[in-house]
Structure formats: C-alpha cells, structure tokens
Amino acid sequence: MKIDLKKGKIFLKLNIERCRELYDTGILYDGGRNPFTQSVFIELMIIIRHLDHILNVELDDNLTIIKLRDAGVHPYLNREINDGSIVIDFARNFKGNWKYENKVFTKQDDTCDIEFQYGSSVISIKEILNLIEIFESRLKNYEN
C-alpha cells in the first residue's frame, strides 16, 4: 500500500507515538493484576497490524500478529469449553530470571522477557519493542 506522505505522515507519526506511549507505561511488564494489561496489549496489536499495512514491514507472513490482533478484537470467540470449564484465552508467561515480591515481578537480568499468548499464538515484549523500533525507523525514512 502506498501512502500519501502529505496526508499520511501525521497519521503514521501519531500511531507510532501511541505504540511507544503504550509500551512506555510499563503495564506490559506489570506482574500484578493490572486490569488494563490486556487492553494495552490488544490496542498495540491493532495498531501494529494497521501500521504494517501502511509501512510494508512485511508482517503479512507473520500469522502470529494476525491471530493475536484477531483474537484481541474478538476475545469471546476464542474461549473453549472443555469438560464444563472455560479455558482462559489470554495468558502472560514470564521467561528468564525474575524476582517476585508483593505481587510485583522485577527483572533480574537481560534474559527476562514476557510472552503474551492467545491460544497457540505467542509474541514477546522484546518482539513488540522491535516492531515499534522498525516503524519508527520506517517513518524516518519516509520523512527524508
């Protein structure tokens, strides 16, 4: 998809800034039961998918982003009933060396990451940050 830089640059900039703003809240790293974690994650997946269409980062082959975005937009369609119990469709997995005290996870070193999962689709916070940085870089290329 080609963009009209005169009209599209502001839209791109605002959406990339929104991604950075959501990421920088730290909510994705929050080990407590923050009620906004899932909402922040879903908004990021929606914006990332949309920016991919415009900036041609070639995530089209990355079904993880597509599935996560779709699962986030339609969360109640992704629940399964197994033997009368509901399987939770959204999960956070803490990977690496974390310290847990008073409902708070603290990273102990650079191996620490958090993965978000809907069904079999998984993306890590490091991957999300990498995508945001790719979008920021692409925007700078469009501005030059």
Ordered per-residue pLDDT tens for the chain, 144 residues: 455 555 678 888 999 999 999 999 988 887 666 888 888 988 998 898 888 777 766 655 566 777 777 766 665 555 555 565 555 567 778 888 878 777 677 778 888 888 888 767 788 888 889 889 988 888 887 766
SS3 state of residue 1 = coil
SS3 state of residue 98 = strand
Asked whether 23 and 128 are in contact (CB, 8 A), the reply is: yes
Taking CA atoms, 7 is separated from 4, 141, 144, in Å, by 6, 16, 16
- pTM for the model stands at 0.76
Which residues make Cβ contacts (< 8 Å) with residue 69, sequence separation at least 6?
A: 45, 46, 48, 49
Q: Six-digit token pair at 115?
A: 């993965």
